[in-house]
Homo-oligomer: A and B are copies of this chain.
């Protein structure tokens, strides 16, 4: 295998993180996320979102973040509205339902929710024999690589406030969204327009770690007990604090994401030049070119990637994912190889 484009978590962590882990190693710190590094990371987040009153909590992964946030927000009879393709609705093994809550799923072809898509569902659920929707769950970037523009989230946010709904944004790949060529949002925008969101570290240069940001004060209470209850308070919470303190210093988080996007854009551009189309318009680090099956079979002998979906009898979409660690040479070699396979 020359290189794999399976995902953005195939490598370890950015070297700055390794260095920081090493330098801090023998300092004695308080456990369970009350260490000085975690406090530092929380301050960096507050500065970036331009809001001193947010609560910030570091957890190990995205499914963990999602299940804890949602379980802590909802009463037993309340539900979550999500796109059918939403990660919580598909690839979290029923994590949200295991906390007792229904997901009300809505088809959204490009993975993005809008007030128009939601409004009927909300109206129907006034019936007291049904669950009561209380959170709208979105991801930026989405599962299919698309992003929300500022006006998209403003409209959703206004709708949610009007309809007594919380807006929660899964930011597993928020770095990629915010540094994409089409983006017009800042972290501060995201923070002010949502009630809770998280900044993904695992898929953007950390070994592990996501930073949950709770702006809505009603939702801040006793969140650490929720984390403890779900096994999310690491004894050596410093491991998460050190990583976020590094990522959020000197723009590293954004630089890494931008690099991943650039590598994906170069792949897209090269593949488009060969005349192929794409399943979605993705300006982020996941792209979904549609290729003839015979091309896919040959390329698969050299590179790692997932075949995503059947398009027609002769062609399928594949998913190529780049990361902070993807090398330009790998991208160029892939493009050369696909060109040679095609011709």
A90 at the interface (CB under 8 A from B): yes
Docked-complex contact B71 and A72, CB < 8 angstroms = no
What residues on B are CB-neighbors of A68 within 8 Å?
A: 231
Nearest Cβ distance between residue A12 and chain B, in whole angstroms?
4
Whether a CB of chain B sits under 8 angstroms from the CB of A25 is yes
Q: Does A143 contact B (CB under 8 A)?
A: no
A177 contacts B by Cβ under 8 Å: no
Q: Which residue of B lies closest to A100 (CB)?
A: B98
Which residues of B sit under 8 angstroms from A128, Cβ to Cβ? 93, 222, 224-225, 228
Count, chain A residues at interface, CB 8 A: 79
Does A235 have its Cβ within 8 Å of any Cβ on chain B? yes
Q: Which residues of B contact A273 (CB under 8 A)?
A: none
A131 pairs with B94, CB closer than 8 A: yes
Residue of B nearest to A14 (CB): B25
**Are B97 and A101 neighbours in the complex by a CB distance under 8 Å?**
yes
With known contacts A95-B228, A226-B76, A12–B26 Cβ distance under 8 A: yes
Check A119 for interface membership: any CB of B closer than 8 A. Answer: no
A161 within 8 A of B: no
List residues 95-122 of chain A with CB under 8 A from any CB of chain B: 95, 97-103, 105
How many copies, total?
Answer: 4
Residue of B nearest to A225 (CB): B77
- A230 adjacent to B98 (CB under 8 Å): yes
In the assembly, what is the distance between CA of A64 and CA of B232, in Å? Answer: 7
In A107-165, which residues have CB < 8 Å from any B CB? 127-132
A93 to chain B, nearest CB (A): 4
Question: A1: nearest residue on chain B (CB-CB)?
Answer: B28
Which chain B residue shows the least CB distance to A91?
B129
- Complex contact B63–A228 (CB within 8 A): yes
Interface centre among A24, A103, A222, by most B CB within 10 Å?
Answer: A222
Are A231 and B95 in contact, CB atoms less than 8 angstroms apart? yes
- Chain B residues positioned under 8 Å from A179 (CB to CB): none
A105 to B59, CA, bound (A): 30
A276 proximal to B (CB < 8 A): no
A238-B12 in contact (CB<8A):
yes
7 A-B pairs, CB-CB below 8 angstroms?
A7-B235, A13-B21, A72-B75, A76-B229, A94-B100, A95-B229, A207-B239
